[in-house]
Amino acid sequence: MALLVGAVTYFAQASDLGWSAVEQVNHLDHGLYRQIFFAKYINWVVAFPSFALGLGLLSGISWVTVVLNIFISWFWVLSYLAAAYTTTNYKWGFFAFGTFSWIILAMSTLNECREAAELVGIGRDYIMLAGYLNLLWLLYPVAFALTDGGNIIGVTGSFVFFGILDVLTLPVLSFAFAILGRKWDFGKLSLAFSDYRGGRHGAFSADKEAVPVHDTSDS
């Protein structure tokens, strides 16, 4: 789903859709107004929680932590969106809130979730995925500060910057999950959802057949 949303949002941007003209306060040599493509934030608001969910399920961390990481990723993206649409230097307050939330998310995925992944025997694969993701996530605050935040890099340059980051993130990580996942024991990781549902259905059917039928004709 995240890949599909990403494809649609990039199609919108390539078609010069999904943007607003926002007045700028920094580096006005690029113009008083800047094209802010909200389409890319729609991509992130789907993609970033997908990463948090995937790493959380893989590590076997508690559902409370998974939901919290999803919420933090939403907060991060929406804070940056608010910063991009703020026409004063108060935008950097939203930027600070968003960046702080990313730090919390990075600490969770690199520490707590890593420790949980080691308990189920996939610590090496997990740290490869989480480390790669957080290395790229580290560049998003930098890219935002130079583009939609600080207006230092123009719109075309921001396309290139974020385009490279997005391609290296979602498609590459999805491929890495698929390759590394071939050797994982999904039953041990509690990720065999279809088998689990099938097992429950089979158990329910067996229990239903085993229920004795009482003859009440004599009473």
- DSSP letters for 178-191: HHHGGG--TTTTT-
Distance CA 33, CA 19 (A): 12
The closest alpha carbon to 173, from 136, 137, 129, belongs to 129
What confidence tens digit (pLDDT) does each residue in 133-165 have? 999 999 999 999 999 999 999 999 999 999 999
2-206 is classed CATH 1.20.1070.10: yes
Look-up of token digits 């420790």: 115
What confidence tens digit (pLDDT) does each residue in 50-87 have? 999 999 988 888 899 999 999 999 999 999 999 999 99
The residue that leads in pLDDT, 204 or 188, is 188
- DSSP letters for 78-135: HHHHHHHT--STTHHHHHHHHHHHHHHHHHIIIIIHHHHHHHTT-HHHHHHHHHHHHH
pLDDT at 199 over 50: no
Quote the pLDDT of residue 184: 76
Q: What residue spans define the domains of the chain?
A: 2-206
The residue that leads in pLDDT, 184 or 153, is 153
Question: How big is the chain, counted in residues?
Answer: 219
Q: What residues does 37 pair with on adjacent strands? A: 19
